[in-house]
Structure 1
Amino acid sequence: MKYALLGDLHSSIEDTKAVLHHIHRCAPGADIIGLGDLYECTVGKRKAETMRNCPVEKAAIRSEAFDQLLTFPSVRGNQEERIMKVTGTNEFSKLPEKMIIDGAVLIHGHQWKWTADWLPLVPKIDPPLLFFGHSHEAALYRKKNRLPFEYGKPVVLKKKRYAINAGAVWGSREWVLYDAAARTVTFMKAD
């Protein structure tokens, strides 16, 4: 089974359209799954600590055009959680915190600590492959070390633990193709 994993869309219609078009062109038939932060919350972290009952249209960048692009399942990101917190709605509570697919865990990445220079302090999980987003930086990690990769070139994953950051749709137009049968991951970037 092949999976196209994308995250950190942050309500960007143009970037999301470009990535979805790239997925359909490069990996037709792949199951598309989101890694959270589909929407952009307009309320900052500090202000969100005290703000409540804010109208959704003021708390999030939303449009019907963007909503129509979201035809795939996704995990919940910190942006969705913040929107719910400041609005008092549970609109995104149906999005799971994590998903498990063919030997891999999908999660946004805001659930664990990060170093000052944005390196993830990834928890040990099962299954041993972890796909995430949050930092907006595509990366492949093994034992806390960042491994090299080239866009468009499959990386064969040994039967070890890996953490794979799919990068960001917003601003970078990145996504990851995971082939569970071949046990490969291919970092992709749309034009």
Structure 2
Amino acid sequence: MKYALLGDLHSSIEDTKEVLAHIMRHAPDAKVVGLGDLFECTVGKKKASVVRLSKIEEAAVWSNEFLSLLTFPSVRGNQEERIMMVTGRDDFNHLPEKIVIDGAVLLHGHQWKWTKEWIPVLPKTEPPLLFFGHSHEAGLYRKGRRLPFSYGVPVYLKKKRYGINAGAVWGAREWVLYDAAARTVTFMKAP
């Protein structure tokens, strides 16, 4: 099965439309799955512990047009968690923290530590492939090292442990095509 994995949309209507159109052109048979931070929280991390807003529209960049684009399952990101903290609502509790697909685990990426250089300190998962977002920087990682890749060129993965950051929809229009049967990842970037 093929999967189109995208994350860090941050409520961007234009970028999300372009990425979804790009997926339809290049991988129309792929199942689309989100890696979290679908929405943009308007309250910063420091203020979130004390600010309480009753309306979700006050705590997030929120529109019906953006909501209509979210037709795919997704994990919950730190932005969704912060929106719930600030509003006291549970709008995103239905989004799981983790999804397991063919041979891979999907998480957002805020659940583990990162180095000062924003290199992820990846947890060991089963299955051993881990797709994530959070840092807004597409990357392929093996044993704590970042490996080279080129957009649009499939990377054949050995039967080893890898971390794959899909990058960000917001601002960069990035996503990853994962072919579970061929065991390849292709980093993609919409125009």
Matched with 1:23 is 23
Partner AA of 2:46 in structure 1: R
| Equivalent-residue separation in structure 1 for 2:142 and 2:159 (angstroms) | 11
* 1:96 equivalent in structure 2: 96
The answer for the alignment partner of 2:62 in structure 1 is 62
Q: Partner letter of residue 12 of structure 1? A: S
Q: Which structure 1 residue ranges, 4+ long, deviate > 4 Å from structure 2? A: none
Per-residue CA deviations over 1:66-106 (Å, capped at 9, x if unaligned) read 00000000000000000000000000000000000000000
Q: Post-superposition shift, 1:33?
A: 0.1
Unpaired segments of 5 or more residues in structure 1? none
Q: Name the SS of the counterpart of 1:68 in structure 2.
A: helix
Within a 5 Å distance, the mapping from 1:36-47 to structure 2 comes to 36-47=36-47
Quote the residue 1:159 is aligned against.
159
Equivalent AA in structure 1 for residue 36 of structure 2: G
The alpha-carbon deviation at position 54 of structure 1 amounts to 3.8
Alignment of 1:1-191 (within 5 A): 1-191=1-191
The worse-fitting range, judged by mean Cα deviation, of 113-122 and 132-141 is: 113-122
What is the number of residues matched between the two proteins? 191
Verify the 8 A CA contact 2:53 2:59 in the aligned structure 1. no
Offset at 1:52? Answer: 2.2
SS where residue 41 of structure 1 aligns? coil
One-letter amino acid matched to 1:81 = E
Deviation at residue 51 of structure 1 after TM alignment:
1.6
Return the offset for 1:53: 3.8
Structure 1: how far apart are the matches of 2:53 and 2:71? 28
Q: SS of 1:40's equivalent?
A: coil
Q: 2-side partners of 1:87 and 1:109: how far apart?
A: 23
- TM-score normalised according to structure 2 size: 0.99
One-letter amino acid matched to 2:37: D
